[in-house]
Amino acid sequence: MQSFRIARIMGIPIELHFTFLLLLILVYYFWGLDGFLLYIVLFASVVLHELSHSYVAKKYGVNIEKILLLPIGGMAMMDKIPKEGEFKIAIAGPLVSIFLGVLLYGLSQFIHFPILDIEGESYPLITTVGTLNIMLGVFNLLPAFPMDGGRILRALLTPRLGYLKATKIASTLGQYFSFILLVLGIISLNIILILIALFIYYGASQEYHALITQNIFDKIKAKDIMSPEIILVSPENTVNDVVYLMFKHRYMGYPVVERDKLIGTVSFNDISVVSDDILVKDIMKSPEVVSPSDTLNDIIHKLANSERVYVVERDKLKGIISKTDVLRVLKILGLKNNQMVEEYIDN
Ligand SMILES: [Zn+2]
């Protein structure tokens, strides 16, 4: 078990990662009950920050799986971040944190207790939490992925530079920034800072690669990768005929076509369990079909249910894409990564 559900707010499950629980135990051990209390209030602020993102995201139809709390912060797991809503979704978190911080600061002028005692130092709770919220808001406004500021920067740059270049800039800034944090962490021997640096580095590069993959998957169409060589089977053919075709052409599956129309598919799995004189029409399956302009994304989706998909345009069979074809495409993309892929997407 990796995380524990502790609450459900606005329909969103709030979960604690088990490392977060370990941290709480450590905090209690080293800083006592007062340190423990401060951490709880601080992470309640983090939850509020994430809920602010989630609240706006929901307005854009985003589905939020959960809010996960880790020792170095929280994250709202969203199924997608729509381009049009990115600016508002990203800025909501820091704005609420800074607003809450200022509010608590104002309040602390009138209410001076409780005062926490952590390692002999006194911390007025309201002032401390106020300060931490302002820090949380400002830190997240840094214009670098994976901080909110990175998303804000991307949203601002996209109209001028395009989504891809804007993403690249924000994620490169994230990597520079993580490097600075890493150096600071090493100089000051601060393990938390080093962890945050690694987390930011990973988050920054991941964002860019996910986009590249998404883009390439959207750009590659069925007509680009299909095999146009089609060997047809008639519904009146027998299993024996199909076995003969398999020997001759070495394909393991064939489209069943009647009067120029695709009506089924027959594969090795279908014929291996029946006798030779059975007719194809009695054992064929219904085919998975895509159109020539469907994307690699659509194809991979359909291949989950079938070994091959048929490319059909206006009822006419144009080509076949097998799992092997798709794996070959992915292999080529993996070998020829970034430079070529970027050029391809920019065209
Ligand atoms: Zn945020």
Q: Which range of residues forms the domain containing residue 296?
A: 223-334
**Cα–Cα distance, 51 to 95 (Å, whole number):** 12
345 inside domain: no
Model confidence over 46-99: pLDDT tens digits?
999 999 999 999 999 888 888 988 877 788 888 777 888 899 999 999 999 999
Last residue of a domain, one of 111, 141, 171: 141
Residue 198 has pLDDT above 80, yes or no: yes
Residues 210 and 234 in one domain: no
Report the range of poorest mean pLDDT among 112-116, 275-279, 301-305, 312-316: 112-116
Residues 167 and 118 in one domain: no
Query: How far is ligand 1, taken at its centre, from the CA of residue 8, in Å?
Result: 19
**What is the structure's pLDDT at 51?**
93
Kindly report the number of other CB atoms within 10 A of residue 264's CB atom. 19
More confident residue, 167 or 332: 167
**What is the structure's pLDDT at 342?**
53
Query: How far is ligand 1, taken at its centre, from the CA of residue 205, in Å?
Result: 18
Whether residue 82 has a cis bond before it, omega within 30° of 0: no
Query: How far is ligand 1, taken at its centre, from the CA of residue 97, in Å?
Result: 9
347 inside domain: no
Q: Tokens for 240, please give them.
A: 């024996």
CB 255 within 8 A of CB 248: no
Residues 284 and 329 in one domain: yes
Residues 156 and 244 in one domain: no
Query: How far is ligand 1, taken at its centre, from the CA of residue 62, in Å?
Result: 16
Task: Give which of 183, 228, 220 is closest to 329, Cα–Cα.
Answer: 220
Residues 101 and 123 in one domain: yes
Residue 344 has pLDDT above 60, yes or no: no
Residue 345 has pLDDT above 50, yes or no: no
Positive/negative CA dihedral, 320, 332, 203, 174: negative
Q: What percent of the chain has pLDDT over 70?
A: 95
**Cα–Cα distance, 337 to 212 (Å, whole number):** 10
346 inside domain: no
**What is the structure's pLDDT at 294?**
92
Residues 117 and 43 in one domain: yes
**What is the structure's pLDDT at 97?**
95
Query: How far is ligand 1, taken at its centre, from the CA of residue 66, in Å?
Result: 14
Query: How far is ligand 1, taken at its centre, from the CA of residue 206, in Å?
Result: 17
CA distances from 162 to 157, 219, 345 (A): 7, 16, 11
Query: How far is ligand 1, taken at its centre, from the CA of residue 63, in Å?
Result: 17
Residues 203 and 268 in one domain: no
Residue 110 identity: F
Residues 40 and 135 in one domain: yes
341 inside domain: no
Residues 97 and 205 in one domain: no
Query: What is the rounded average pLDDT for all residues in the chain?
Result: 85
Q: What is the mean pLDDT of residues 140-155?
A: 90
**What is the structure's pLDDT at 290?**
92
Query: How far is ligand 1, taken at its centre, from the CA of residue 240, in Å?
Result: 63
Residues 81 and 159 in one domain: no
| 3-state secondary structure (DSSP) of residue 172 | helix
**What is the structure's pLDDT at 185?**
93
What is the CATH classification number for the domain harbouring 265? 3.10.580.10
Q: Tokens for 257, please give them.
A: 């076509």
Residues 111 and 7 in one domain: yes
Show which residues are catalytic.
50
Residues 14 and 131 in one domain: yes
Number of domains comprising the chain:
3
Residue 338 has pLDDT above 60, yes or no: no
Query: How far is ligand 1, taken at its centre, from the CA of residue 94, in Å?
Result: 6
Q: What is the 3-state secondary structure (H, E, C) of 196-229?
A: HHHHHHHHHHHHHHHHHHHHHHHHCEHHHHCECC
339 inside domain: no
Residue 346 has pLDDT above 60, yes or no: no
Rg (CA), the chain: 28
Q: Report yes or no on whether pTM surpasses 0.75.
A: no
